[in-house]
Structure 1
């Protein structure tokens, strides 16, 4: 593939946009909370415990309720997940991560719609709603029950 000046310009602008995101308040908050979480030994211990239990959980899931440790592993992984998610450093990071994802989704939507208002733009969350979302496309899955032209 040959590099044209137009492609080089697009790549440079994309790099600038990435720098703006990293230097934004949301980007800075994400990086700070990521650093705090990585430096928090208790948070790292909780993450490692959850990761190792997750491996066991996946093994148990292969056999489902017929596995002898099914109930115990299900209960333990839920407890570890709740304990991990409620740790202040991890909770703060997850909130910052969600904020950054929302910003990236909005940027993707704006860039995509600058190309075409009907372009499909992947978003990080299935609950992400765009300014043009709705059922006017007829693809809402209700079979027209919402009033769209299914």
Structure 2
């Protein structure tokens, strides 16, 4: 991986000691790193499984069912657990989540998505630590909730395709 030239300091310093040439070199290296990440096996695997999930008719049907079940649950949730259909609606959402997770391409997609996330976290951590041990890097805690807990999937909330 190319590293910005160390010790290169131009005569004209700007912005608190950084020259525009140093910033340009840094940005160029960042774009190159991004290109390498995009060409990685992890990203290729992620994109492959994403396309498989998007083309899978069973997943599309389950996503439609999930969207309806989630809408019903959200309506019940407005009134809290005392709504007569609250538990039934919640159980329906969980059942469809399990059905989605059981589809092979969805589980492979989730694993590929996690691998990319882990790689990006490691890159961020290494960059931060190369600057200083005091730099904070956002945590990389695994999403244990699946659908309904926030994520990037097509159903709008949990990495299920």
Structure 1 length normalisation: TM-score? 0.76
Match of 1:118 among 124, 134, 137: 134
Structure 2 unaligned blocks of 5 or more:
1-14, 144-161
Asked whether 1:34 is paired with 2:45, we answer: no
Give a deviation string over 1:119-149, Cα, whole Å, max 9, x none: 110133269xxxxxxxxxxxxxxxxxxxxxx
Give a deviation string over 1:28-70, Cα, whole Å, max 9, x none: 1111111111111211221232133223222222222111211
Alpha-carbon offset, residue 93 of structure 1: 0.2
Give a deviation string over 1:92-140, Cα, whole Å, max 9, x none: 100100111111110110011111112110133269xxxxxxxxxxxxx
Query: After the TM superposition, which of the residue ranges 83-92 and 14-23 deviates more from structure 2?
Result: 14-23
Q: Which residue of 2 aligns with 1:47?
A: 63
Asked whether 1:102 is paired with 2:118, we answer: yes
Larger helix percent: 1
Q: Which residue of 1 aligns with 2:76?
A: 60
Structure 2 length normalisation: TM-score? 0.71
Structure 1 unaligned blocks of 5 or more:
128-150
